[in-house]
Structure formats: C-alpha cells, structure tokens
Chain A
Amino acid sequence: DIQMTQSPSSVSASVGDRVTITCRASQGINIWLAWYQQKPGKAPKLLIFGASSLQSGVPSRFSGSGSGTDFILTISSLQPEDFATYYCQQTNSFPYTFGQGTRLETK
C-alpha cells in the first residue's frame, strides 16, 4: 500500500497568512493526488485534483503543486472560513490512501 504522510500535523496561523501543507507519498504517484478540506461534523470537500487542478467553485487562493512523491497545498491568504482540517489522498492505485490530516487553527 502507498503511505501518505502529511506535515505538519497542525499549524497555527492568522487571517491573511500564507500557509503551506506538505504531503509525501511512499512511492511515486505521478500527479495522482487530491486535497480535501473538512470542517467539524461535515463531509470532506474536494479542493484540488490531479495535484494542481482546482475543483470548480474553489477559491483561487488555494493551489496545489508537485509530482512523484512530494506535494504541496498552498493557501495564499487565509480567510476565516479556511480554518479546518486538510487531507491529501493518493488516487494512483487501490487501496486509495489518505494522509493523517493537518489541522489548521487560528493563532
């Protein structure tokens, strides 16, 4: 199975900050990576697919980059509604696997 490791596990930031979250795959997955945002008690929401493609309706302050084993989610200017938990997921092969999550908290 492909293991996905996110860092950091949690991060504190303020509105307006630039935030980056890293995801590393245990083996190469080309660009087959997705990013999700999840708020408490809610279903996850797809933000990025194919490592860097923005899902329809997602604000442009979210961006994704990377290929192979190393990937980054960037939020260019944090908004109050962005405080949530973020997960990466490899979509290269079964079993699909997720990172452990990164909790983005207000500083």
Chain B
Amino acid sequence: EVQLVESGGGLVQPGGSLRLSCAASGITVSNNYMNWVRQAPGKGLEWVSTIYSDGNTYYADSVKGRFTISRDNSKDTLYLQMNSLRADDTAVYYCARGVGDFQDWGQGTRVTVSS
C-alpha cells in the first residue's frame, strides 16, 4: 500500500521560507513521477510542481523562481523548498504520485503566510 505523509507546514511571515517534506512508503520515490498540488482556503486545486523520475522538474508560473522541488532517494522523501513566501501561497499543500493524473495523495500540510 502506498502512503504519502507530508510535514513541515506552519505559520510563516511574508518573505520567509519553509521546506515541506513528503515521506513515502510502499513506493520508491526516485522511480516515480512526484508532484505538489495546493489548495487555498475555500478554493480549488492548483498544480504547483512535478519532478520526473529522470530528475527533470516543472513549476507553475506562480511559484517559478521561488519554489524548488527535490527528492532524497535514500530516504524516499520528496521536498518542496519555498522561499519568498507571499500571502497568496497560503494553502494546504499535498504531495501526489502520478504522471499527469495523480493516483495517490498525502493528507496535506497547511501553510499560512501572514504577519
């Protein structure tokens, strides 16, 4: 059974940084396409970033240059480094597995950007 467990969310001031983690079990992160998707309070789903098994990365324009997706193959963990955070980055962040369509999801971690 695939399990994805996010952590690292919290309250951060505008301009601050945060690193989210997604610990995977039941899969090998490096062999899979892994993604981050977010959902602002009361809003819909927004794709944030993808890392392919070959290491190629892709970002939404809204986070490009500020967020970095990466993985630690030895720990089967996916990361999202978020810098220069803004109020509109406030959301629940989900990690998800899949190429295009997302077949497995974590429970999400909440990020609040506020002074």
A residues lining the B interface (CB < 8 Å):
32, 34, 36, 38, 42-46, 49-50, 55, 87, 89, 91-92, 94-101
Contact = CB atoms under 8 A, between A and B. Distances in A.
Interface class of chain A by DSSP: loop
A95 B36 CA distance: 12
Contacts of B107: 42-43
Interface of B: 37, 44-47, 50, 58, 60-61, 94, 98-103, 105-108
Which 7 interchain pairs have the tightest Cβ spacing? A91-B100, A34-B101, A43-B105, A96-B47, A49-B101, A98-B45, A101-B44
Contact of B106 (A32, A43, A46, A98): A43
A96 B106 contact: no
13 contacts: A34-B100, A42-B107, A45-B105, A46-B98, A46-B101, A46-B103, A87-B45, A89-B47, A92-B100, A95-B47, A95-B60, A96-B100, A101-B45
Nearest to A43: B105
A95 to B, nearest CB: 5
A101 B100 CA distance: 18
Contact of B47 (A45, A55, A98, A100): A98
A89 B45 contact: yes
Interface centre among A34, A96, A99, by most B CB within 10 Å?
A96
A96 B45 CA distance: 10
Given A43-B106, A45-B105, A98 B46 contact: yes
B102 A46 contact: yes
A91 B101 contact: yes
Nearest to A55: B103
Contacts of B44: 87, 98-101
Nearest to B95: A43
B108 A43 contact: yes
Contacts of B101: 34, 46, 49-50, 89, 91
Contacts of A49: 100-101, 103
